[in-house]
Structure 1
Amino acid sequence: MLDRIEKGLVAINRWVLIFLLLAMAIIIFSNVVLRYTTGDSIVWAEEVARHMMIWVAFLGAGLALRFGGHVAIDNLHRSVSTRTAQLLRALVLLCLALFFIFMTISSSDYVWRTRFQSTAATDIPISFVYAAMPVGFVLMLVHLLFIARGYIADGSYKESNEIDGEAAGSL
């Protein structure tokens, strides 16, 4: 049951990222074409693309974490005994989990405080854009919990036929 939830979460996360990147590319491409063919541009294109990029960064961070795409310095835990390395990785995992929880709470407060502000071109609430932060940190925490056992045991991340750690880091 947990495996199905995990696979569903990863699939939804990927498809949302694909949709956002595709929409962002179409908006920017259309804006460039219109600017050079007609001399006019879409007023809201840059703003919407920027907001989509914020969402892509926060939604993609969990997947990058899951597949080992974030920068990591692993010299220390590779040079000590297996048990010590496991303890170090458990400490790193605990620190990350606490950081993600703290950032979820802090960014939720930030979203709440900006609920009455709106964007310049589209007049949507700026809190909608900033909501990417708590959503992203919750997703990072969930992905961290899904990889916790393997990471603590042997420093491994999730495997995927479609993507590896280096490719995940380039998202």
Structure 2
Amino acid sequence: MLNCIERWLVAANRWILIVLLLAMAGIIFTNVVLRYTTGDSIIWAEEVARHMMIWVAFLGAGLALRFGGHVAIDNLHRAVSTRMARVMRSLVLLGLSAFFIFMAVASSDYVWRTRFQSTAATDIPISFIYAAMPVGFVLMLVHLLLIARRYVLEGDYARSEEIDGEAAGSL
């Protein structure tokens, strides 16, 4: 059951990223073509693309974490005994979990405080754009917890035939 939910979460997360990136690329491409062929550009294109990039960054961070795509220095835990390495990885896991929880709560407060502001060109509530922060941090926490056991015991990340750590870092 948990494996099914985990596969669904990863697939949904990846497809949302793919759709957002395609839409963002399409909007920017169309805007550039219009600017150079007609001299006019789409008023809202730059703003919407920027907001999509914010969502892509926060939604993609969890997948990058899951597959080992974030910057990591692992020399120390590879140089010590297996038991000590597991203790160190457990501390890293606890620290990351605490940070993600703190940031999810703090950014939720930020979203709440900006609920009455809106963007200039599209009149989208700013809180909708900033909602990427708590959603992203919660997703990072979920992805971290799903790989926690393997990470602590073996120092390894999730594996996929479709994506590796270096590719995850480029998401």
What is the TM-score of this pair, normalised by structure 1?
1.00
One-letter identity of the residue aligned with 1:74: D
Offset, 1:43: 0.2
One-letter identity of the residue aligned with 2:52: M
Offset, 1:83: 0.1
CA distances 1:107-155 after superposition (whole Å, capped 9, x unpaired): 0000000000000000010000000000000000000000000000010
Question: What SS does the aligned partner of 1:108 have?
Answer: helix
CA distances 1:43-87 after superposition (whole Å, capped 9, x unpaired): 000000000000000000000000000000001100000000000
Q: Look up the match of 2:85.
A: 85
Offset, 1:17: 0.1
Q: Look up the match of 2:120.
A: 120
Question: What SS does the aligned partner of 1:138 have?
Answer: helix
CA distances 1:86-123 after superposition (whole Å, capped 9, x unpaired): 00000000000000000000000000000000000000
Percentage of identical aligned residues? 81
One-letter identity of the residue aligned with 2:57: A
Question: What SS does the aligned partner of 2:159 have?
Answer: coil
> In structure 2, what is the Cα distance between the partners aligned to 1:159 and 1:2?
16
Q: Look up the match of 1:158.
A: 158
- The 5 Å alignment of 1:64-83 reads 64-83=64-83
Question: What SS does the aligned partner of 1:116 have?
Answer: coil
One-letter identity of the residue aligned with 1:39: G
Q: Look up the match of 1:16.
A: 16
> In structure 2, what is the Cα distance between the partners aligned to 1:124 and 1:22?
21
> In structure 2, what is the Cα distance between the partners aligned to 1:97 and 1:89?
12
> In structure 1, what is the Cα distance between the partners aligned to 2:135 and 2:35?
34
Counting matched residue pairs gives 171
Structure 1 stretches of 5 or more lacking a match?
none
Q: What do you get for the CA RMSD once the two structures are aligned?
A: 0.3
Runs of 4+ that moved beyond 2 A? none
Q: Look up the match of 1:139.
A: 139
